[in-house]
């Protein structure tokens, strides 16, 4: 009997509405190098992306099941819910670097699939009215050639994703080397809602999408801007979360 990936090739060749034929071709798992496998095999996902007890509003790991960590109870963040697919650690650090910094936007599909497998991710997306990526500045977008968060958002929810509703108004220095207080100061005035479309946010549920959450400064700043524009609920879905909110 022909393997499943080969059986599907004929039908895919003749259907203009389905994925390209190469979506059925076998590949090698980027982690274990197993072949033929998907780019991220189920065994590696099960091994390296185990669900953890996490705070529902900052996504940091908790030692026991609980809704919120002490910090979020004391100072509630502007996010109603924050969901992460995995911890920012090996092997995800390497794969995200390929995707983000080495001109490999094709990783958007496999990484978005990993995000969709996270508890509450699909329910959160289904309930949303808008799915918005954290925007890049024009300068950063020109350097990289694509917004990695937009590619993820488009994969996660193609009918609700929008890259023009939340805007980046100015370029800012890299956040990666700054402590949280400086990150927040760095982002003041960096995001804005498209003025002609602000009414589309009134009373709506929004999901923000980002690749890596470190201190949460970008997500929190964007969430506040959306709330000021009238959004009723703002959640976040991120690919990876640093363990203690430190530098990524």
pLDDT digits (tens, 9 = 90+) for 21-35: 344 456 889 999 998
End-to-end C-alpha distance for the chain, whole angstroms: 47
Q: What is the per-residue pLDDT across 40-95, written as a single tens digit (0 to 9) for each?
A: 999 999 999 988 899 999 999 998 888 999 999 999 999 999 999 999 999 999 99
Range 99-106, long-range pairs (CB < 8 A, 24+ positions): 99/148, 99/211, 100/144, 100/148, 100/211, 101/144, 103/145, 105/145, 105/146, 105/148, 105/151
Residue 135, pLDDT > 60, answer yes
Residue 82, CA distances (Å) to 141, 172, 220 in order: 25, 24, 11
| pTM, two decimal places | 0.84
């Amino acid at each position: 009997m022909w393997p499943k990936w080969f059986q599907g090739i004929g039908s895919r060749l003749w259907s203009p509405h389905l994925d390209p034929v190469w979506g059925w071709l076998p590949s090698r798992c980027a982690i274990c190098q197993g072949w033929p496998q998907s780019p991220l095999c189920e065994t590696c996902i099960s091994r390296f992306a185990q669900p953890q007890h996490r705070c529902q509003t900052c996504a940091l790991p908790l030692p026991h099941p609980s809704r919120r960590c002490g910090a979020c109870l004391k100072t509630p963040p502007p996010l109603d819910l924050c969901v992460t697919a995995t911890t920012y650690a090996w092997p995800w650090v390497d794969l995200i670097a390929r995707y983000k910094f080495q001109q490999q936007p094709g990783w958007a599909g496999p990484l978005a699939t990993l995000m969709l497998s996270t508890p509450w991710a699909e329910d959160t997306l289904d309930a949303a009215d808008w799915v918005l990526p954290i925007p890049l500045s024009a300068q950063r977008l020109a350097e990289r050639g694509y917004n990695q968060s937009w590619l993820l958002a488009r994969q996660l929810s193609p009918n609700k994703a929008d890259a023009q509703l939340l805007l980046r108004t100015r370029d800012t220095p890299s956040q990666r080397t700054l402590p949280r207080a400086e990150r927040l100061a760095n982002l003041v005035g960096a995001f804005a809602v498209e003025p002609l479309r602000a009414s589309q946010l009134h009373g709506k549920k929004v999901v923000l999408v980002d690749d890596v959450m470190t201190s949460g400064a970008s997500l929190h700043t964007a969430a506040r801007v959306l709330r000021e524009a009238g959004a009723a609920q703002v959640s976040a879905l991120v690919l990876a979360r640093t363990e203690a909110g430190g530098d990524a």
